[in-house]
Amino acid sequence: DRRERQVAVFGAGYIGLVTGACLADLGNRVVVRDIDTERVRILQAGDVPFHEPGLGDMIARNKERLTFTLDLDETLRDAEVAYVCVDTPPSASGDADLSKVWSVVRSLAGAAHLRAVVMKSTVPVGTGARARAALDNAGLTATAYASNPEFTAEGRAVSDFMNPDRIVIGADDPAAAALIAALHEGINAPVVTTDVRSAEMVKLASNALLATKISFANEIATLCENTGADAMEVLSAVGLDHRLGPHFLRPGIGWGGSCFPKDSEALRQLASNTGFHPMLLSAVIDVNNIQKRRVIQKLKDVLGDLAGREIALLGMAFKPGTDDMREAPSTVLASRLQAEGASVRCWDPLAQPGEVEPWVSATRYASPEKALDGADAAVVVTEWPQLRDVDWARAAATMRRPVLFDGRNLLDPAQMRGLGFTYLSVGRP
């Protein structure tokens, strides 16, 4: 039977906590370290500092094998493998800011008993080579280095981790790759072992292709609007081709979140740094930027000048099922509306007021109905399922003007028009 392996996880954010909890659930002994006192206190008290389905339960049932600490020595004492799971936000130059990564790597000095240091954070291709040099400088010459990117989506992170399409391990030593694969014993998925640079690139290329599919769907949706075709019909038929697949072809108001915007920009920057302009990737990013702004133009086409108008944004999180506001299209819509002189109202069942960008002043309402009451127009920004259950007939009566832009094609056009709405959506006639 399998030996309990000792893992140190640096960073108790989305990735670190999901990685730590899942590795513990697979039978490993895991210590998660963070430098944020409040975050560690919350975790030690048995709470989870953000919304992620299944994570709290998983942490609770692995109490014996999963601990949280501020203490570096405690984290490293028995560790065989150290996972780096810190955030790598964009820096002023557009390159990923790796300062937290380097600070973790520096903190490993003296832990020469580590068999492997594993990068889970999304980093530019080539980071592994720099990390290798830093580890050598820190005296960890016998410790292997590996890249083991994550492909988990928020809201499904626990089940994505436990049921992945593949596990990618890029290591500078085959024994380390085998050790990392062994940590995942119990997961039924192909393990792809490769070199460090290729593993780093797999993560960036995967996210870029997913973002490309969405931008493509958004561009086709605009073409459908201009030609009278129905984008939902078109894209669902396109997606039936098994070479293309049905996923990530939903048109909407653009992609957001903690990964796609940051990773696509970082990949573009990486390309520029090698003297290469990535034309397709750049267009994918441009299409996404324009997609958010088109909403404002469409509202103007109906309402005229937006100055003094009350506009309700329904859904603020970048997608349903999460409270995450990072790069949420809602923040762009809210600030663009404000720049046009409109007053912004908003509703979201999970996202917290403080997480709306501080420069956006939107009045928050406890229900969609309240946000709609007296509004000149509303935009479905996030496809929260509860928006299907709104009493839209009543909303049409309580709104100052029944204008609805359904940015996620959530509602039925004929039904909404039947209720008296001026109903706009994405790519549907």
Three-class secondary structure of residue 79 per DSSP: coil
Question: For tokens 């609805």, what's the residue?
Answer: 404
**DSSP bridge pairs for 69:** 33
Q: How far is the CB of 310 from ligand UDX (least distance, A)?
A: 25
- Direct distance between the N- and C-terminal alpha carbons of the chain, in angstroms, rounded to an integer: 61
Sheet holding 144-147, edge to edge: 66-69, 29-33, 6-10, 81-84, 116-119, 144-147, 167-171, 191-194
Pick 32 or 259: Cβ nearer ligand UDX:
259
- Give the residue, chosen from 34, 52, 87, 154, that forms a contact with ligand UDX under the rule CB under 6 A: 154
Q: What residue spans of 62-195 are helical by DSSP H?
A: 72-76, 99-107, 127-137, 157-162, 174-183
- Give the residue, chosen from 35, 107, 151, 364, that forms a contact with ligand UDX under the rule CB under 6 A: 151
Return phi, psi of residue 425, to 5°.
-140, -165
Q: Counting contacts by CB under 6 A, is residue 260 touching ligand UDX?
A: yes
Active site residue 259: yes
Pick 318 or 392: Cβ nearer ligand UDX:
318
Three-class secondary structure of residue 334 per DSSP: helix
Pick 252 or 402: Cβ nearer ligand UDX:
252
Pick 120 or 132: Cβ nearer ligand UDX:
120
- Give the residue, chosen from 83, 145, 318, 365, that forms a contact with ligand UDX under the rule CB under 6 A: 318
Distance of CA 108 to the CA centre of its chain: 28
Which amino acid makes up residue 12? A
Three-class secondary structure of residue 229 per DSSP: coil
Q: Counting contacts by CB under 6 A, is residue 249 touching ligand UDX?
A: yes
Q: Counting contacts by CB under 6 A, is residue 319 touching ligand UDX?
A: yes
Return phi, psi of residue 106, to 5°.
-60, -35
- Beta strand extents in 172-289 (DSSP E only): 191-194
Q: Which of 22, 85, 224, 259 is catalytic?
A: 259
d(CA 241, CA 232): 15
Q: Counting contacts by CB under 6 A, is residue 153 touching ligand UDX?
A: yes
Segment interacting with ligand UDX (CB under 6 A) among 80-88, 128-136, 147-155, 275-283: 147-155
Q: How far is the CB of 150 from ligand UDX (least distance, A)?
A: 6
Question: For tokens 């697979």, what's the residue?
Answer: 26
Q: How far is the CB of 399 from ligand UDX (least distance, A)?
A: 25
- Give the residue, chosen from 21, 98, 214, 424, that forms a contact with ligand UDX under the rule CB under 6 A: 214
Sheet holding 343-347, edge to edge: 363-364, 343-347, 310-314, 377-380, 403-406, 422-425
Q: How far is the CB of 308 from ligand UDX (least distance, A)?
A: 30
Q: Counting contacts by CB under 6 A, is residue 50 touching ligand UDX?
A: no
Q: Counting contacts by CB under 6 A, is residue 257 touching ligand UDX?
A: yes
Q: How far is the CB of 319 from ligand UDX (least distance, A)?
A: 4
Q: Counting contacts by CB under 6 A, is residue 256 touching ligand UDX?
A: yes
d(CA 327, CA 400): 30
d(CA 287, CA 211): 10
Segment interacting with ligand UDX (CB under 6 A) among 87-95, 113-121, 152-160, 353-361: 152-160
Residues in binding contact with ligand UDX, number by CB under 6 A: 20
Q: Which residues are catalytic?
A: 259
User: Which residues in this chain contact ligand UDX in the complex, by CB under 6 A?
Assistant: 150-154, 207, 210, 214, 248-250, 252, 255-260, 318-319
